[in-house]
Amino acid sequence: MNDVASRHRLRSVATTLAVALTLTLAAAAGCDNRRDPPLPSVLDKLRESHVDGQAKIRIGVATTEPLMGELRNGVHVGFDVEIARYIASYLGFAGDQRIEWVSLATEDRIPALQGGVVDLVVSSFSMTEDREKLVSFAGPYFVTTQEVMVPARLKDRIRTIEDLRRPEYRICTSGGSTTEAELAKHDVKAYVVKEVGDCVKGIRAGRYDAVSSDETILAGFLSQYPKDFEIVDMPFGTSELLGIGVPIGDPALRDLVAFALQKSYLQGRNGISSPWLTAYNRTLGPWLKADKSQPQPLDVPKLVDFDDKAPTR
Amino acid sequence: MSAAVTEEARPAGPVPAVRDPAERKARASQSFWTAVVGVPAIFSVLRLGVEAGGELQTTLLLVANVGTVNLLAGFLTTAARLLSTGLVATFALGAVLRVSVDRMPPTVRRPLFARWVDVTPAWFAVASFLLALVTWQLLYLPLLVPAFVAAFQLTPARLHEQRVPRVLLLVGLLGGYAWLLAPTLADAVDQREWLALLLLSAPPLLALAITGPLPGAVVRPLASVTEAAVLATLVWAALPVISTPVLPLTVTTVESAPGVTEDIRGHVVTTDDVSMVLLQERGGVRYVPTGQVRAQVLCPSEEELPRHRLRIHDFHVEDSLLEGLGRRVRPVHRIDAACRAVR
């Protein structure tokens, strides 16, 4: 009898505890439902960034690099330009009426970002340690290697880096580029001009014999003169990561750009057509020897956005 | 005293003869149904005033243009969760109190929730739980298990009369639950989401012990405290529901002069041949000539931002079952650039 009574009491205590705990848990759930999101959202970052409230976003692009950044009949076209359009639209600047294109020469990219002339630079900008001291990078959005393009008449004579060192060949490259440093490292003396386009013009005029630059830029000129030139695969070794340049004082903007690239990367990985893939297929895709896919962006922040609840599979 | 005896003894048992029991029952039933029908109706009208920004003329504009059916449908869409929470809490607490009072001397006044449970048909309670099942966020859905068990007083003994098969069945059920949630629980640990971890794992265990009567000393304070708490919670939770918009949020691009465009963020009240009436998000009504409207996009509101980054088998924990299924039908969610640009 006593045993039954004590079991009964135990049971009552257990019920009381269970009811009390369930009520506490329900109350905690109610409070949790009302608190602010713990993670920063895309909108929070946008408010922090300096582009918030601007009527237009200023993007620095190249205008003389076919396939990457080119001004054709008054319209900016190319892979970099398409990527820039995607980023701008992600930041709330959709359509060319909300974008102010600023054409930048290779060597002007860093000063333009430092001087506040542009908000972003999407112009075959290699992410290097030295540059990261001066500007911030989001990316990479493309991995490229250094190549050499020679006129068709020299395609059998210039095949190796050794050939480039021979004094009878005049090698040309653009100033302020990573190629310039890479050539110097391999003891190749090069004529440094303002734009890669000048080198191509120079070769066609007979002033130079070869041009060295990123394979993307060279593929662009090859697409313009497919019969006159050939790209020679040379083992320069280092691959280059192209990133989007952001002013160093605006980490929020860098985070947003990296997040936008990551969004496209995830879409592509899930087999959905991504903005990156569309841009690639419309521009570089047909002209590169090997098919490429979007590289995974580095240092992507964790942000919440409205589409987070969408299925991932 | 067994539970079965209590069940049968209750309706015939001597209720304090203050008034006729039938009359009391009728009154309780009346108050319950008045609350169920009246509260949504009053809310719907109240929130129009809030939506209008407290302006009389704007409220009248909304009243003139938002139909009763739209209003009720809009209310149900946004308030179904709150409504079902209120009902589920009432039924679960009412059933716990009822089974507890039944053991006490008949002179004790039955708590309000217990009386409500007396008069509510079982199908209505089941319907409330079904509504909760499809509208509650997945994160809070496990709480429905103890609530359901309490509301219908389903003791583990109901599973099987013998101890061994009963324990095996319970272990099987809990094991299945753990298997279903294991990846999410691991993610919750990784993300240090302790509350989410507790909300997902504890309720089924609590359900094991939640049935049965409470000690007499606890019943009376619990009854008054929970009645006040449920009421306070409903009022507190009702505030965001009242301020949830009735009309969808859009960004409308207007070209007032050639080449001059303006983006207006707000809710479209009505459109006719002459003008589009926009209730701006920050306040104020704009009549935009219909011919000047160049584009319009639908935008999410900031309250829709998720708070957690947990998923249960690819269903986001902050989605209800209905929303999760809906996302499977239309998996791509596109946020228009205009929504970010105009605030």
Tens-digit pLDDT profile for residues A151-174: 877 777 777 777 777 788 888 888
Decide if B203 and A22 are in contact by the 8 Å CB cutoff: yes
The complex's ipTM? 0.77
pLDDT tens, position by position, B270-293:
888 888 888 888 888 889 898 888
Closest partner residue to A93 (CB to CB) among B333, B337, B339 is B337
Structural domain boundaries enclosing B320:
249-341
Closest partner residue to A28 (CB to CB) among B137, B195, B218 is B195
The count of other CB atoms within 10 Å of the CB of residue A262 is 19
B120 and B257 belong to one structural domain: no
pLDDT tens, position by position, A197-224:
888 888 888 888 888 888 888 888 888 8
pLDDT tens, position by position, B305-318:
888 888 888 888 88
Rounded to whole angstroms, how far apart are CA atoms B178 and B184? Answer: 10
What per-residue confidence (pLDDT) applies to B4?
40
DSSP lists the bridge partners of residue A125 as A243
Query: Among the three residues B228, B243, B258, which one is the final residue of a domain in this structure?
Result: B243
B64 and B114 belong to one structural domain: yes
B136 and B195 belong to one structural domain: no
B57 and B150 belong to one structural domain: yes
Decide if A42 and B334 are in contact by the 8 Å CB cutoff: no
Tell me what the mean pLDDT of segment A291-306 comes to: 84
CA A229, distance to chain mean position in Å, is 28
- Could you tell me the CA-to-CA distances from A240 to A181, A194, A298 in Å, in that order? 13, 20, 14
Name which residue leads in pLDDT, B35 or B324.
B324
In sequence order, the 6+-apart residues with CB closer than 8 A to the CB of B122 are none
Number of domains in chain B: 3
Q: Identical fold at A42-143+240-298 and A145-232?
A: yes
Rounded to whole angstroms, how far apart are CA atoms B62 and B60? Answer: 5
Q: How far is B159 from chain A (nearest CA, A)?
A: 18
Tell me what the mean pLDDT of segment A26-36 comes to: 79
Name which residue leads in pLDDT, A212 or B29.
A212
What per-residue confidence (pLDDT) applies to B14?
46
B86 and B168 belong to one structural domain: no
B202 and B266 belong to one structural domain: no
Contact (Cβ atoms closer than 8 angstroms) between residue A76 and residue A69: yes
Average pLDDT, chain B: 81
Contact (Cβ atoms closer than 8 angstroms) between residue B94 and residue B28: no
pTM above 0.80, yes or no: no
Domain boundaries, chain A: 42-143+240-298, 145-232
Name which residue leads in pLDDT, A3 or B117.
B117
Rounded to whole angstroms, how far apart are CA atoms B317 and B191? Answer: 14
What per-residue confidence (pLDDT) applies to A2?
66
Q: Which CATH number describes the domain made up of A145-232?
A: 3.40.190.10
Q: How far is A22 from chain B (nearest CA, A)?
A: 7
- Minimal Cα distance from B339: which residue of A? A92
Whether residue A24 is predicted with pLDDT greater than 80 in this model: the reply is yes
Decide if A92 and B89 are in contact by the 8 Å CB cutoff: no
Decide if B341 and A311 are in contact by the 8 Å CB cutoff: no
Which of the residue ranges B109-118, B242-251, B273-282 has the most confident prediction, judged by mean pLDDT?
A: B273-282
Residue B318 φ then ψ, to 5°: -95, 5
B88 and B132 belong to one structural domain: yes
What per-residue confidence (pLDDT) applies to B133?
93
Element (H, E) at B275: strand B275-280
What per-residue confidence (pLDDT) applies to A237?
66
Q: How far is B249 from chain A (nearest CA, A)?
A: 14
pLDDT tens, position by position, B131-141:
999 998 899 99
What per-residue confidence (pLDDT) applies to B175?
93
Tell me what the mean pLDDT of segment B192-215 comes to: 86
B115 and B217 belong to one structural domain: yes
pLDDT tens, position by position, A105-143:
878 888 888 888 888 888 888 888 888 888 888 878 888
Which of the residue ranges A74-83, A176-185, A285-294 has the most confident prediction, judged by mean pLDDT?
A: A74-83
Q: How far is B263 from chain A (nearest CA, A)?
A: 11
B13 and B94 belong to one structural domain: yes
Cis peptide before B248 (omega within 30 of 0): no
Q: Which CATH number describes the domain made up of A42-143+240-298?
A: 3.40.190.10
